[in-house]
Chains A and B, each alone.
Chain A
Amino acid sequence: MTVTDATDSRPAVAGGPLRKAVVVGGNRIPFARANTAYADASNQDMLTAAIEGLVARCGLQGERLGQVAAGAVLKHPRNFNLTRESVLGSSLSHDTPAMDLQVACATGMEALGILADKIRLGQIDSGIGGGVDSISDSPISVSDGLRRVLLRLNAARTGKERLAALKDLRPGHLVPEPAGAGEPRTGLAMGEHQALTTHDWGVTRAEQDELALASHQNLAAAYDSGYMDDLVTPFRGLAKDNNLRGDSTLEKLGRLKPAFGRHLGEEATMTAANSTPLTDGASAVLVSSEQWAAERRLPVLAEFVDHEIAAVDFVDGDEGLLMAPVYAVPRLLGRHGLTLEDLDFIEIHEAFAGTVLSTMKAWEDEEFCRSRLGLDGAFGTVDRAKLNVHGSSLAAGHPFAATGGRITALLAKMLHEKGEGSLGLISVCAAGGQGVVALMRGR
């Protein structure tokens, strides 16, 4: 068979050119502190609401998308097909396939990155990526002892076998085990890990409280000016994130006692205010090819240019738990010939104020950048005027898997307003010493 001049219309996987993946729209429900407004909402309820809000906003009723990719960090085993069930519960075409994935707090970013890659390759034309998490409705496991008894009981065929299985039951087996007790290999909670990194980089309490205050003030201003109107859809009586304290002051924040790193004594600096609270919420972002968006007269907000998932060896303290993005960003920008100065907006997920500040200090440190990042000198300074311009997780809260979608939709809107060719960076750290970073370009 002779190949004719049809090269350009062929997808990249079939020998054609790569095409652009673009962000078309986003939606999330307001984030709620754990055990408050969404105490009775499940992951399924929240993810379906976020997707359905996006469907309504973009007119996708009955539409068959290429794929919906989302996940939750804390997930009930019965929700093994969480995302597919949310698709079936939405007004998207039931022919839309879905997948669940999980990369801890970077779940939403990786979901979007995978969809963008498939769009670039021409395997799909459109997709929704996002995530959800509920602390209020988190799964509780039974102990391994009780689980083994129950499994043996289930497999038993005779009364005698059942009795033998029950004989091994001990009172201690009945104590339930809540999910998420920190890093399995170190036994340290994430906040305790960050407290070590924060301390290592000499980040002060004042710096962290200032960053937290700015986050609240910037997000409050965004809500007040109506900037969040087309990014958030009210849910269960909540119209905006209920962790937001726009009227907080440095004095108020300064009065809080340290919550993490208390073993550091006087040098403990991390409090409940400069650390993200446990939060419930969900987000969803629509990505597609340019042609798909044009055919539906949907606005192209930004191009999802590239993303990278990274990890560091934190187990014996060689690197901080949440420092993977510090390594990934120079690689990501490097392969596009960019530096921090070329960026118009920088979104560094505020897992803790200490994470953002340690990240920036590391990039300013010549010795660190030479020895650890393999650069010629310091990577650069983040211009605070470009950093988390409309607030970040310290103010909004951080429902683990939902954070990537929150930031991507927000940054796409910011880049679209900034104009064609503007550049934005997203950095999201994650448990397990991992992280996902992404580069976006305004349209």
Chain B
Amino acid sequence: MTELQTMPSLAACYRAAFGQAAKDAVTRRRRPADLPAAPVLVRGHRISAESLDAYRRLLGVGEPESVPSVLVHIEAFPAAMHLMADESFPLPLMGMVHLTNTVFHHRPVPVDVPLDITARASELVAHHAGTAVDLTVTVTDPETREVLWEGVSRYLAKGVHRGERPERPAREEFTAPGMTGQWRFDGGAGRKYAAVSGDYNPIHLSGPTAKALGMKGAIAHGMYLAAKMLAGREPAAAGFRWEIGFDAPVQLPGTVAVAYAHPAAGITEVTGWNARRGRRHFTGTIAPSEA
């Protein structure tokens, strides 16, 4: 177990990963085959009232009273990044793509109280386009040892194949559901989310910085879509789970057509797509924990 007294900075993680990538290219180092067994533990991390205020201003909603689920992810995310940026990590951090997020938000996460945050790499998954990895983050109340929040994020390292290479699944035909809403992201949406999340990944910030990393242009942060999906819809008493799976990225500036549906009591299914091009951006679910 790697124990940290303060939450690492994302900028330092990006710098380390970038440096490592450059060094690996020169020395032709082969990355280790296995996931690091040791989790990273950050003790006593506090989510500040200022962070909560900034998050609420971005999303434009006041609820819930406690920390919104995506803000918990934002605050805990650097622990996972610390793990992924390390030279012992089998996949290169730079250029990784976010595939899915699954979160169990068991109990309300309070503001400005110490929290223990654990991040571990739980699984390597073969993918038709590369290799994916699951990072599991757990937020625990240090007093009661109760798990308040746990989330699994799956990232894809494109073009990195390790042995078996699954078939590309047949692309399912996307039929747009009935639109119930629309999200407009302006050209500065990536920078606004970065200012709140502290995640200054260049692919979200501007056209030129994204193009420098081989993208067509700036794209919306996946967790920004998750935050919009959950805005105003989190049960105050927690006890819910949500998941989101990403398809085509949202180019900035851009408009996302969304559909919220309720297939069963308490369950919300969300689809986001580009109405003009008929391409799906994401699908998501919000449901009670037990459902």
Chain A 153-181 residues near chain B, CB threshold 8 A: 172
Query: Is the beta-carbon distance between B260 and A316 smaller than 8 angstroms?
Result: yes
Query: Counting CB contacts under 8 A, is A186 at the interface?
Result: yes
Specify the main secondary structure of chain B where it touches its partner: strand
* Contact status of A187 and B181, CB under 8 A, knowing A144-B57, A263-B257, A317-B259: yes
State in angstroms the CA–CA spacing of A196 and B177 once bound together. 12
Query: Counting CB contacts under 8 A, is B180 at the interface?
Result: yes
Query: Is the beta-carbon distance between A172 and B179 smaller than 8 angstroms?
Result: no
Query: Counting CB contacts under 8 A, is A192 at the interface?
Result: yes
Query: Counting CB contacts under 8 A, is B23 at the interface?
Result: no
Interface string of A186-206 (1 = CB under 8 A from B): 111000100010001000000
Query: Is the beta-carbon distance between B260 and A184 smaller than 8 angstroms?
Result: no
Query: Counting CB contacts under 8 A, is A255 at the interface?
Result: no
Query: Is the beta-carbon distance between A316 and B275 smaller than 8 angstroms?
Result: no
State in angstroms the CA–CA spacing of A298 and B188 once bound together. 61
Query: Counting CB contacts under 8 A, is B178 at the interface?
Result: yes
Residues of A within 8 A of B232 (CB): 185
State in angstroms the CA–CA spacing of A421 and B270 once bound together. 52
Residue of B with least CB distance to A172 = B188
State in angstroms the CA–CA spacing of A263 and B261 once bound together. 19
Query: Is the beta-carbon distance between A263 and B181 smaller than 8 angstroms?
Result: no
Residue of A with least CB distance to B256 = A187
Query: Is the beta-carbon distance between B179 and A263 smaller than 8 angstroms?
Result: yes
Residues of B within 8 A of A144 (CB): 57
Contact of A186 among B57, B180, B188 (CB under 8 A): B180
State in angstroms the CA–CA spacing of A187 and B182 once bound together. 5
Query: Which of B180, B258, B261 has the largest number of chain A CB atoms within 10 A?
Result: B180
Chain B 158-207 residues near chain A, CB threshold 8 A: 178-184, 188
Contact of A316 among B183, B261, B276 (CB under 8 A): B261
Residues of A within 8 A of B181 (CB): 185-188, 315
Query: Counting CB contacts under 8 A, is B60 at the interface?
Result: yes
Nearest chain A CB to B175 CB, angstrom units: 14
Query: Is the beta-carbon distance between B276 and A263 smaller than 8 angstroms?
Result: yes
Nearest chain A CB to B85 CB, angstrom units: 30
Nearest chain B CB to A372 CB, angstrom units: 16
Interface size on B, residues (CB 8 A): 20
Nearest chain A CB to B20 CB, angstrom units: 34
* Contact status of A186 and B182, CB under 8 A, knowing A263-B276, A317-B259: yes
Residue of B with least CB distance to A195 = B179
Contact of A187 among B183, B188, B259, B276 (CB under 8 A): B183
Residue of B with least CB distance to A188 = B182
State in angstroms the CA–CA spacing of A263 and B178 once bound together. 11
Query: Is the beta-carbon distance between B260 and A317 smaller than 8 angstroms?
Result: yes
Chain A 196-220 residues near chain B, CB threshold 8 A: 196, 200
Interface string of B203-237 (1 = CB under 8 A from A): 00000000000000000000000000000100000
Residue of A with least CB distance to B178 = A317
Query: Is the beta-carbon distance between B179 and A196 smaller than 8 angstroms?
Result: yes
* Contact status of A184 and B60, CB under 8 A, knowing A263-B275, A263-B276: yes
Contact of A192 among B57, B60, B182 (CB under 8 A): B182
Nearest chain A CB to B256 CB, angstrom units: 9
Query: Counting CB contacts under 8 A, is B262 at the interface?
Result: yes
Nearest chain B CB to A200 CB, angstrom units: 8
Query: Is the beta-carbon distance between B184 and A187 smaller than 8 angstroms?
Result: yes
Interface string of B263-291 (1 = CB under 8 A from A): 00000100000011000000000000000
Residues of A within 8 A of B268 (CB): 316
Query: Is the beta-carbon distance between A316 and B180 smaller than 8 angstroms?
Result: yes
State in angstroms the CA–CA spacing of A334 and B239 once bound together. 43
State in angstroms the CA–CA spacing of A316 and B178 once bound together. 10
Query: Which of A172, A200, A317 has the largest number of chain B CB atoms within 10 A?
Result: A317
Residue of B with least CB distance to A187 = B182
Nearest chain B CB to A321 CB, angstrom units: 10
**20 new A-B contacts at CB < 8 Å, known A187-B182, A316-B260:** A184-B60, A185-B181, A186-B182, A187-B183, A187-B258, A188-B179, A192-B182, A196-B179, A196-B180, A200-B178, A263-B179, A315-B181, A315-B260, A316-B180, A316-B261, A317-B178, A317-B179, A317-B180, A317-B259, A318-B262
Residues of B within 8 A of A (CB): 57, 60, 178-184, 188, 232, 257-262, 268, 275-276
20 A–B contacts, CB within 8 A, in A order: A172-B188, A184-B60, A186-B181, A187-B181, A187-B182, A188-B181, A188-B182, A200-B178, A263-B257, A263-B275, A263-B276, A315-B180, A315-B181, A315-B260, A316-B260, A316-B261, A317-B178, A317-B179, A317-B259, A317-B260
